[in-house]
Structure 1
Amino acid sequence: MDKALIVEKINDFLVDEFEVEANDITPEANLKETLDLDSLDFVDLVVAIESNFGVKVKGEDFINVNTLEDFYNLIDNKLS
């Protein structure tokens, strides 16, 4: 799966499942602030990643993830 498709799928589930405004989704946007994640939302995010991409992620995978671009790269690396 190429990165453009990864970005598109992530953006789609952010809008659909996390009710993020499409205008707020930019590569530079802070992941936690944009998604306003609490611990339950984080669990939902992990489930969304697994169902959309078929990869498992853990909390430690997100240690260096600050922006949406970091998030896109995390999923891209997991799929590689």
Structure 2
Amino acid sequence: MVPNESDSTERGHCTHFVLAQGVVAQVEYCACCGIFHVNIDSLSIRFRATALRDLRDTLTEALAAYERAQQLVEERTTPTQQDGLH
């Protein structure tokens, strides 16, 4: 990763590089500290790489479980072709 100067901010003795930015969240990386800064609205949480990977895996698992549950709900509430036949 070779960050651009425009993608960095000075914070004390550290320089944070913006790695990703979405509508509600931004992820910065500080090479001095080796810490990821996850900013969600006005909340900022610092993670080491291993913890951030674990959070990613946990969120991915949660979203997959949610999508499976939503699919089951849709299957149970959607009438089948046989339901319409008498």
User: Shorter chain as normaliser: what TM range?
Assistant: under 0.3
TM-score (norm 1): 0.26
Greater gyration radius? 2
TM-score (norm 2): 0.24
- Higher helix proportion (structure 1 or 2): 1
